[in-house]
Amino acid sequence: MNGSAVTITDKRTNIPSAHAGIVPEAPGTAPLPSRGEARRVPQGDRMHSGVVPIGAQGAKGTPRSSEGAAVNARIGAGADKLPGELSRVLSLLAPRISRAVRDAATGSADEVSEIRLRRGACASITMGGRNVPLPLSAADDEIDSALRTLCDRSLYAKTETIREGFIPCRGGVRVGVCGRAVIRDGAIVSVAEISSLNIRIPHRVVGCADGLWEIMKAGDFARGVLVWSAPGVGKTTILRELGVRLSGGASPLRTAIVDSRAELAVDGAAPLADVLSLYPRAKGIEIARRTLSPQIVICDEIAGDEDAEAILEAHRAGITVCASAHAASFESLTATPQIAALRRAGVFGTYYGLLAQRPGGYETSVRTEDAAKRRNFPKPIETPASRAQLEQKVARSHANRAMVDAVLARKRPQGGE
């Protein structure tokens, strides 16, 4: 199979931090400085594996509110060295839990990606891909207090997302929620007896998406990218930084970020991006296509037929789509009907697999595919609704044909051929 030549950079590009509403570089200025030489990958549908450097962490510093200052006093000297979002999250938790997290993360606070609190059971953190138990369990009042604080003191305002299993918090923090589902007429109407909270800590990993950006640039940003991995390896982190690169720099692109769980766009880091926060994914893509005239649409975790249909429509409208999906391997990824249909349509030119996090980088598997080989659009993904619509169209077509035949029979002259 033949494919487009792509460029992959081995070393990161330094990206200046963007303040809200300020574009780091105006159009026409020099491109962002790059470190390291790029190497060419020969033409063809190729698999490229290796370790991509993660690059420097994002901006660290003191907490962003008086809450953060308070936790520094509570958990002792050295707390001001914690990454900003981790420090802010610790300020929302009980002092003894904050101290336990800080102690367990000593020397590796940059690597803390999750804090898990379980009611009456062992708490833990995820750090550098390792699960580290904490020497405590969360008491009832600690879980309840954390829940209220993470919901900005209004559980009612977060009811809809809690039904979906998460709480969105500012700064891109997302809290997974476990409890007892209350079912009515086959649908979850609420979650009672909340038993555990999984607090995910976002990290700006500046430069981690530079390889993807170079691949897209080599193809004039005309082909999309699908980032795949097992859960928790780094898909959202890669897409978040890709949004920064695509919407910034010397030649920014109009980028719509469909942020269904309020974690893809953090603190205005993507300069020229329009963010649809907490929209259902398919609806957000549709609205972006119809109203925002984007050149790029970024979304996380393709989940079903509706998402795939919306991506196909965006692709047919000439929009480049960057998305992610859960998969253990490229074979299992492309075996799912939705991804198979998108692949046949040529939506994605690059399949970027994150196999594992390694010290200093990701172990990756990169596959590029030729658009010409994939341009035969598939039939629309069939759903019960689309089948019903098709049956109605067929019935109308048969009725119209019968009417035409009847009219022609009446108008046909006697004795005609």
- 108 and 239 assigned to the same domain: no
- 33 and 152 assigned to the same domain: no
Categorise residue 387: left if φ over 0, alpha if ψ from -120 to 50, beta otherwise.
alpha
Tell me, yes or no, whether 307 lies in a domain: yes
CATH code, domain carrying 142: 3.30.450
Tell me, yes or no, whether 410 lies in a domain: no
CA-nearest of 193, 208, 268, 243 to 52 is 208
pLDDT score recorded for residue 375: 45
- 211 and 316 assigned to the same domain: yes
Tell me, yes or no, whether 245 lies in a domain: yes
- 43 and 71 assigned to the same domain: no
Structure-block tokens of residue 94: 């009980």
Q: With a threshold of 0.75, does the pTM exceed it? A: no
- 275 and 132 assigned to the same domain: no
Tell me, yes or no, whether 417 lies in a domain: no
CATH code, domain carrying 24: 3.40.50.300
Entry field: residues in the chain: 417
Residue-wise pLDDT for 49-96, tens only, equals 566 555 433 333 333 333 333 333 333 333 345 778 899 999 999 999
Domain end, chosen from 200, 224, 242, is at 200
Tell me the C-alpha to C-alpha distance, in Å, between residue 8 and each of 176, 215, 350.
35, 6, 12
User: Could you give the number of structural domains in the chain?
Assistant: 2
- 222 and 286 assigned to the same domain: yes
Half-sphere exposure in the Cβ direction for 269 (13 Å, CA): 25
Q: Under 8 Å CB-to-CB from 198, ≥6 apart: which residues?
A: 114, 115, 116, 175, 176, 177, 178
Tell me, yes or no, whether 390 lies in a domain: no
pLDDT score recorded for residue 17: 32
Q: What is the pLDDT along the chain (417 residues), one digit of tens a residue?
A: 444 333 333 333 333 333 233 223 333 333 333 333 333 333 345 565 566 555 433 333 333 333 333 333 333 333 345 778 899 999 999 999 999 999 999 988 988 999 999 999 999 999 988 999 999 999 999 999 999 999 988 888 899 999 999 999 988 899 999 999 999 999 999 999 999 999 999 888 888 999 999 999 999 999 999 999 999 889 999 999 999 999 998 899 999 999 999 888 866 677 789 999 999 999 999 999 999 999 999 999 998 999 999 999 999 999 999 999 999 999 999 999 999 999 999 999 999 999 987 776 788 999 999 755 544 444 445 555 555 655 665 566 556 666 656 655 665 555 444
Tell me, yes or no, whether 413 lies in a domain: no
Q: Which amino acid appears at position 6 of this protein?
A: V
- Classified as helix, coil or strand, 409 is helix
Cα dihedral sign, 248-249-254-258: negative
Tell me, yes or no, whether 405 lies in a domain: no
- 348 and 213 assigned to the same domain: yes
Domain end, chosen from 340, 358, 374, is at 374
- 242 and 118 assigned to the same domain: no
- 77 and 150 assigned to the same domain: yes
- Provide the residue range defining the domain that includes 267: 6-57+204-374
Q: What is the largest CA-CA distance in the chain?
A: 106
Q: In what order do the strands lie in the sheet with 166-168?
A: 130-137, 121-127, 112-118, 187-200, 174-184, 166-168
- 161 and 281 assigned to the same domain: no
- 81 and 192 assigned to the same domain: yes
Domain end, chosen from 200, 233, 268, is at 200
Tell me, yes or no, whether 396 lies in a domain: no
- 104 and 37 assigned to the same domain: no
